[in-house]
Amino acid sequence: MKVRLPWLLSMVALTPLMVAAAAHDGAAAKDKEATMTRAEVTRIIANANHIVTPNGVEELVKVPINGIDQWLSIRGRDRRNPILLVLHGGPASPSMPGDYIYQSPWEDYFTVVQWDQRGTGKTYAANTEQKMAPGMTVEGMTDDAAQVVEYLRKHYDKQKIFLMGHSWGTVLGTRLAQQHPDWFYAYIGVGQVVNVRRNEEIGYNFALQQAKASGNAEAIKQLQAIAPYPGTTPVTLDRLGVRSKWEMYYGGLAYGRQNYSFDSDAEELSPDYSSKELDAINKGSVFSIHHLMASVVDVDFDNTTHFACPVILFVGAHDETTSHELAEQWFDKLQAPSKRLVVFADSAHMIMQEQPGRFLMHLVSDALPLAQTAGDTTPVEAVRDH
């Protein structure tokens, strides 16, 4: 940081200002010494997270899947551990660039796979939109996910893995768990999508209620301008943006936070992403939403309640991005070999970042035993984590 000193000073004030200037110069020198480039910061983060155990795995690989190159980050301290495949949200909101802030402890217990989906981040940057477009459907991307699982099962010699979806990733995860239950120790839904139109209505009502309660005239004006929402008219990007903006502002995305900067700022320092790939996140998001918006709005799992593999739901008690109410009601209707609901008291939608310690604890205590005793059933339980 450079300190600029005022040069047009009166002689009367010169002496004390010279003392202050000397102090500023010293601070500036220290700031200069502390300033690092992005490359230096990412090198430090990568070195801190480097896996050195003899049986560990640390791979960043580009795999050909359904006609395009798709990127996987595969990390764990013992490759004998079960695989945990993470299906990120969005569409096109990768978790790979920000995973370094919370994932490392998971790698003691799981081989964690982050996948940049079609149209997302590193995968978007590695392909042309023309090549990606044919598979940019819910069905096409579910098949992409199936091919990723097949690759992992074969490459790491695993009969089963854990499948974890977050937000939009729960759409792919739910469909995949329905299609291939024998592949999974469990399906883990985090910020579970149930019925998108009902979800949008609940999130909108929450934002409008909070805006009125706080007397936020600008929020009320913008929200009322898109009413009724979602209604019967198409859910455009602009209308969705208004709902999301104010729902996030009132803590429906991250409890107690008004924006997403805590996560997006961390992405900027990702050791797995180049500057070009960071730029691709926003481009890929626009591309993905253009192709997927209409079909995503019609997602409805109200009657998708029979699973042939265990199901675990992690729900933020304050989640209005994907309604916690709908997720809890859906859980009550689920039929599965075993099922478990964990409600995180101090989280909204970003549970991994909001309560990372408790998230890890429940991964280890609720999910991991299913790999250790595959085929056994466990009691149905609902847990509220305080």
Residue extents of the structural domains in the chain? 57-196+264-385
**pLDDT at residue 212 above 70?**
yes
Q: Is the pLDDT of residue 382 over 50?
A: yes
Q: How far apart are CA 313 and CA 327, in angstroms?
A: 8
305-327 b/e with 16+ CB inside 10 Å = b?
A: eebebbbbbbbbbbbbbbbbebb
Please state, in angstroms and rounded to a whole number, the distance separating the CA atoms of residues 54 and 45: 21
- Structure confidence at residue 374 as a pLDDT band (50, 70, 90): low
- Round to whole Å and give the CA distance between 201 and 239: 12
For 113, the token pair is: 């796979």
Q: State how far Cα 288 lies from the chain centre.
A: 16
Distance CA 69, CA 53 (A): 29
Q: What is the mean pLDDT of the chain?
A: 90
Residue 199's pLDDT band, with cuts at 50, 70 and 90, is very high
Using pLDDT thresholds of 50, 70 and 90, give the confidence band for residue 35.
confident
Q: What does the alpha-carbon distance between residue 138 and residue 256 come to, in Å, rounded to a whole number?
A: 32
Token representation of residue 154: 């074969």
Whether pLDDT at 253 is above 70 = yes
Q: With cut-offs at 50, 70 and 90, classify the pLDDT of residue 85.
A: very high
Q: Which has more confidence, 245 or 24?
A: 245
Strands, E, within 79-174: which ranges? 83-87, 111-115, 161-166
Structure tokens at 196: 């998108």
Among the residue ranges 26-30, 154-158, 268-272, the one predicted with the least confidence is 26-30
State the pLDDT confidence band at 135, using cuts at 50, 70 and 90: very high
Give 353-377 as a DSSP string: HHSHHHHHHHIIIIIHHHHHTTT--
359 CB contacts (<8 Å, ≥6 apart)?
102, 314, 344, 351, 352
**Which of 25-34, 54-63, 80-89 is predicted with the least confidence, judged by mean pLDDT?**
25-34
Q: Residue 372: which pLDDT band, with cuts at 50, 70 and 90?
A: confident
> Residue 121's pLDDT is what?
97
* Greater pLDDT, 233 or 108: 108
| pLDDT-derived band at 381, boundaries 50, 70, 90 | low
Instruction: Tell me which of 354 and 31 has the higher pLDDT.
Output: 354
Q: Return the amino acid letter for 144.
A: D
| pLDDT at 242 (0 to 100) | 96
The pLDDT of residue 322 is above 90:
yes
CA 373/CA 104 separation, integer angstroms: 25
pLDDT for the residue 21? 44
Q: What kind of architecture, by CATH, is found in domain 57-196+264-385?
A: 3-Layer(aba) Sandwich (3.40)
Helices (H) and strands (E) in the chain, counts: 15, 9
- Those residues with Cβ within 8 angstroms of residue 67's Cβ, 6 or more apart along the chain or in another chain: 131, 134, 135
**Residue that wins the pLDDT comparison between 61 and 237:** 61
Band of residue 385 on the pLDDT scale cut at 50, 70, 90: low
CA distance 18 to 83: 62
How far apart CA 317 and CA 342 sit, in angstroms, is 10
Q: What is the largest CA-CA distance in the chain?
A: 85
